[in-house]
Each structure stands twice: as C-alpha cells, then as structure tokens.
Amino acid sequence: MFAAATYRSRRAILAQAMDDIGLFPASPPSPMNYTANPHAYVQDSCFAYYFGIPQPFLVGAIDFDSGEAFIFGDEPTMDDLIWLGSATPPAEWAERSGVTHVLPYAELPAWLTKNRRGRIVHYTPPFRGTVTIQLSEWLGIPVPDIAQRASSPLVRAIVAQREIKSGEEIVEMESALAITAEMHAAAMRFSRPGVMEHEVSGAIEGVARAADRTLAYPVIFSARGEILHNTMHDRRLAAGDLVVNDSGASSQLGYASDITRTVPIGGHFDAKQRLCYELVLSAQKAAIEACRAGTLYLAVHRLSARVMMEGLVAEGLFRGDPDAIVETGAYALCFPHGVGHQIGLDVHDMEALGEDLVGYDHTVRRSELFGLRNLRMAKALKPGMVVTVEPGLYFIPRLIDRWEKEGRYMEFIDYEKVRSFLGIHGIRIEDDVLVTDGAPRVLGPGIPKEIGEVEAALSG
C-alpha cells in the first residue's frame, strides 16, 4: 500500500467534489469452478484507489459531507487462520488506509439507515454479479436497475481524479514496466522457428510470476497478429512469421503496463515486413510526439492513421489524398482499432466506469465510423495522463473480402494490391506515454523497437 496519507488525501479530494455518501465495495474473490478454488485476486480499482487494501469482503464508505471514511469488514475467523493464514484484522488494514471508523460487515445496512437521512448513496457501476446483488440488498434497488442507477456525478469526479497520475503512481507504473521489459526480452530470446507460441507465452508469463507479479491482461503472442485480441497460443512459429507480442505486468500495487512489440521469426524482417514495420514505427513515433497537453487524443489517432496511409499510398495499396482516406474511414481496413487508451490501475483505465465517460466529453462525441468507433478516448490530453500509443497495420482476409464485395471505398483502395500483403498478418507497436507540461515521456526502460535493435535482440 501507499502511505495512509495518500488514501486520506485522495478521499478528501473526492469529498470536495461530491455531496452525500459514497459506497466502495471491494471486489469479491472470483472462483474458477468452486468457491474454494479462486483466480488470483484482483482488487476493484476504485476501492484500491481510495482505500488501497488488497483484500476482499470489505466495503469502504465516505460521508462526503463530513469527510469521514468507514471500513466495513469482519475479524478473521479461526477457519481463515487455519486454511488461509490471513490474520490481519480490518482495523489494522483500516489504519494503513488512514481510516479510523471500522464496523462489522453486517452493520452496513443499519449504518446506511441511520446515516442516510435522505441523502443520495453514490456508487460506481458494478462489473461483478455478487456486488450488484449486494448493492441491491443494501440500497433496496431491484437488481436489473442497479447498473443504470449508478452515479454519473461520482463517475465523473473519479475520472477527473484518477486520470491525473501522481509521481508515486508513475513510479509504480515504471516498476511494472521494468518487469514488462524483461518479459519482452525473454520473448525475443525464445522466439525462433519450430517453437510453439504457448512455449513463448509461458516464458513471458513466467517472468512476471517469478517476479511475484501478475499479468495486467492475458498475453497476446501470436503469428496471427491480425486477430487483434488473439489469446490462442496454438501455432508453431515458422521462419518468416511476424509475431505480435502484446504483454504487460502489473506493479505490486496493481498498476498496469501495456506494451506491444512485433518480431520476425528467424531473426530478420524481409523487405515487405520492413516496409510495413517502418510505417507503423513512424506512425507510433509521430503519435507519441503529438501527445501534448491540450491536443485531442482523436487528433493523435488521426495523425497515426495518416502517417501509415501516406506510406500505403506510396506503395499503391491505397490511392488518393491520405487525409481523405483518414477522414472517410477507408484507412480502417488496415487499422480497425483506436490508437490507444488511458492506463493506470486498469490496463484500459476506468473502463468499468463507462468508456464514454472516461474518454469523451462535451467537446467530442464518439464516431459511428467503422474502426474509429473503437477509439476508447478522443478528448484532450492533460498533464499527468498516461495513455498508450499503439498504432498497427493489419491485413484481415475476411474484412478485405467483405469490403470488396460490398464495393466499399473503391476510389481509395486497390484490393488486389492489399491482398498481396496478406502474409504480413499484423504489426502493432505500443508504448505507455506520460503527458507532461512539455514533451511527452515514454515510460519504462527502453524496450527494443527499432529494426536493428529488434533483430539484435532476436539474435542474442
């Protein structure tokens, strides 16, 4: 945990922005197949942000009017001690969180009845069924209505606070990236013809586990990089494959990292791979450079698309004005996702609070265009935000066939020429970038991405 003062100050800032009461349930454990066999525990990130305690079966409450905070939780039972060894009483956790009021879990409904006095009880949209049911019981709201009655004012206040990272949060994110750099180095060492994808993805995950870290999200390690979130690892790598490795560790306090590199199996990019890789790398560098306070992230997205389209026009895959190719949405044939997202305690930070409330505001609405509608954030960047910058080029056979059959963007796209690049599959390059008052800062140690560096890492 951070020092108690961090959590006290975070709650005080939130209390200044809010009225009434806020409830923050900790995440319950997530069973794999029966209750006593859970997945690795991941705390709810709002609870983690405001209370920091890495334990389930707790609820945090903040009286926004008085500024007081409360923890509801029970003493460890003898069974807890015998089977789990966890002996930390809630009062001790609460102290580490700077909370002085500690009450038994079962007293939450009575506490609400006594303290509510007609006030609103704010909560964030739950993403776990058990939390939905608990909120329903505590607040007397029918289960089907819980999601829609989540508090927009609370979500907006949390987003405004959590999207600006403090110095100690950046230190956490860089500590995650230090492990992630080792994960990518291991992947480059292990990636060679004849090796199965799951052998490499296992080695990647092993680096995180050996460092007592968890993954921030399941490893994507695939020679079928055109399948954007492909978590299958079922192919044997062959010379000439390009493999997308999108993997990142969490820090000890649960902050995410999210890095993608694309590597040639056999150790060298061929001419076509080199051409496409350089386009993605140029787009990524231009996009990183554009991550300046006040710039719309939408403009960063468009810039990365335009850089790639300029190159593909020069190669004859697209024709016409690159700006028109971007404006009309034709580019999304080869770049159907957004340039990135915010990152923090969640790899897609705060996505559970509602993507539009996190990434869009009154100045910019989500596009309905294919591809662009997947952009998770479009609003202006602010100092202290951390965003990923992850443009990619993909050659997706069924999408190409569908668009050609439907006669889409015929004036801009040479479908035959595009098909001649199907062997590339997919290329993505992703870094985590801190927006500052001046130049953007790529977080973490350098992870090879220049062609020479990647080829050298593979041969090492």
Q: Is 182 in the site for ligand GLY (CB under 6 A)?
A: no
Count residues near ligand GLY (CB under 6 A): 6
d(CA 401, CA 415): 9
> Of 182, 258, 349, 432, which one interacts with Mn ion (CB under 5 A)?
258
Smallest gap, in angstroms, from Cβ of residue 373 to Mn ion? 17
Residue whose pair of structure tokens reads 């035959």 in the numeric block: 416
Output the smallest distance, CB 388 to Mn ion, in A.
4
CB-CB contact of 207 with 182 (8 Å): yes
Given the complex with Mn ion, which of 45 and 134 has the nearer CB atom? Answer: 45
Structural tokens at position 153: 């004012």
Please identify, using beta-carbon distances, which residue of 329 and 340 lies nearer to ligand GLY.
340
CB of 373 to ligand GLY, least distance (A): 15
Q: Which is nearer to ligand GLY, 306 or 337 (CB)?
A: 337
Contact between 246 and Mn ion per CB under 5 A: yes
> Smallest gap, in angstroms, from Cβ of residue 435 to Mn ion?
16
What secondary structure letter does DSSP report for 22?
A: E
Amino acid at 180: T
From the list Mn ion, ligand GLY, none, which binds 217 (C-beta under 5 to 8 Å, kind-based)? ligand GLY
Question: Using CA atoms, how far apart are residues 46 and 158, in angstroms rounded to an integer?
Answer: 8
| CB nearer to Mn ion: pick between 260 and 273 | 260
- Written as six digits, the tokens of 64 are 């926004």
Structure-token match 């995410």, residue found: 256
Please give the Cα distance from 307 to 296 (Å, whole number).
17
Question: C-beta of 243: minimal distance to ligand GLY in Å?
Answer: 15
Question: Using an 8 Å Cβ cutoff, are 429 and 449 in contact?
Answer: yes
Q: Is 222 in the site for Mn ion (CB under 5 A)?
A: no
User: Which is nearest to 284 in space by CA: 249, 213, 347, 335?
Assistant: 335
CB of 419 to ligand GLY, least distance (A): 27
Instruction: State the minimum distance, in angstroms, from the CB of residue 441 to Mn ion.
Output: 17
Find which of ligand GLY, Mn ion, none residue 230 binds, CB within 5 to 8 Å per kind.
none
Report the alpha-carbon distance of residue 180 to residue 159 in Å, rounded.
26
CA 382, CA 118: separation in Å to the nearest integer? 37
Candidates 50, 217, 269, 318; binder of ligand GLY (CB under 6 A) is 217
**318: its two tokens:** 């697209």
What is the Cα–Cα distance from 222 to 236, expressed in whole angstroms?
10
Among positions 356-395, residues that touch Mn ion (CB under 5 A) are 388
Residues 235-294 interacting with ligand GLY (rule: CB under 6 A): 246, 258
The entry of Mn ion, ligand GLY, none near residue 163 (CB within 5 to 8 angstroms by kind) is none
Report the candidate in 223, 238, 231 with the shortest Cα–Cα distance to residue 192: 238
Can you tell me which of 226, 390, 431, 432 binds ligand GLY, judged by CB under 6 A? Answer: 390
Residue 101 pairs with which residues in a beta bridge? 70
Residue 51 binding target from ligand GLY, Mn ion, none, CB below 5 to 8 Å by type? none
* Binding positions for Mn ion, rule: CB under 5 A: 246, 258, 260, 388, 430
